[in-house]
Amino acid sequence: MHQYAELIALCRQAGEAILEVYHRGDTEVWTKDDDSPLTEADLAANTLLLEGLARISGLPVVSEEMPVAGREERSSWVSAWLLDPLDGTKEFIGRTGEFTINLALIENHQPVFGIIYVPLSGEAFYGGPQMGAFVQDAQGQVRPLQASNMLNRLKENLPVRLLASRRHAEPTVDKLCQRLHAGLADVQRTDAGSALKFTLMCSKQGDIYPRYSNVSEWDIAAGHALLRAVGGEVYDHQFETMTYLNKPSVLVPGFFAVADQKFDWRALLPG
C-alpha cells in the first residue's frame, strides 16, 4: 500500500479536527435516525477524510456519515473504502478518550489495508495481509505489531484475554466467558470502547473479541485487515470469514474476532 504515509497523515489531520472539538468540551449532540449520536467532530472529520480520499485515490467511499449506496452498486465495486470518521462517538461524548478513526481498503470484498488512528494518543495502527502491521506513534516512530500464539499461552498457563464492548452489556459474552473458562483456561476480561479492541489484539494484549449485537462494516473492516496481517481473523456467527460491501445491508449481526486463527476456536464459540 504505497500511499499509506499519505493516508496516515490524512487521519492525523482529521484527528486534530476531532480533538479541537473534544478539548473545547461544549459540542452539541444530535440524534440520527437509528438513535445513535452525532457531533460536530463526526462531521468535521468526515468532511476532511472524504476530501482527502478523493484527492488520494478517487475510489468510492462508504462512510457512516453519508448515505450508503445500494447492494447492487456496492457489489459491483472492485475496490472501495470503508470509513468511520469517529468510531466511539458515545465514548467521545462520555470523555473516556476511547475513540478512533477507522479506514479500510476493500478489494473484491476483502479487507486488504486498514488504519485505526487514535486521536488522543496520536498512534496510527496500520497494515494489511501483504505488508504486515505496524504502529506509528505521535513522534513518527514505527514498530511492527504481533499477535499472541494461543497454544503457547495455554502451555504457560496464561489466561484467555477476552475483549468486550464497554457500551454494550451482552449477557451472551458472560456465558462465553464461562464456556471458555470451563473448556480452555482462566479468562481475563477487559472492556474497551471503539476499535481499540482490535489494536489490543494486534499488540499481544488480547486473544478474542466476541460481539453479539449489531455493528456496521465500517466498525470492523480496518481491524480485520490488521488482524489478518498478524495472523488473526474475523468470523461471522456461522464461522464464515467476514466479507464486505456484498450483502443486502452493511449491518453486521455480530462476529468473532480472534488474534490467532491457527488455534481451533470453532468448538468453543457457539453461534
Could you give all domains of the chain from N- to C-terminal order, each with its CATH number?
4-144 (3.30.540.10), 150-268 (3.40.190.80)
- Tell me how far CA of residue 191 lies from CA of 116, 134, 265, in angstroms: 18, 23, 21
Helices marked H in 25-136: 40-56, 71-76, 89-94
Query: What is d(CA 164, CA 124) in angstroms, rounded to the nearest whole number?
Result: 21
Residue 167 confidence (pLDDT): 72
Residue 52 confidence (pLDDT): 97
Q: Is the dihedral of CA 13, 222, 99, 143 positive or negative?
A: negative
> What cell does 139 get?
513522534
What is the average per-residue pLDDT within 255-259? 97
Residues 204-231 have pLDDT tens digits of 999 999 999 899 999 999 999 999 999 9
Residue 169 confidence (pLDDT): 61
For the entire predicted model, the pTM comes to: 0.96
Output Rg (C-alpha) for the chain, integer angstroms: 18
Residue 271 confidence (pLDDT): 56
pLDDT at 1 over 60: no
Nearest to 136, CA basis, from 51, 271, 12, 265: 12
pLDDT > 70: percent of the chain: 98
- Tell me how far CA of residue 269 lies from CA of 43, 151, 179, 239, in angstroms: 37, 17, 9, 9
pLDDT at 91 over 70: yes
Mean pLDDT, the chain, integer: 94
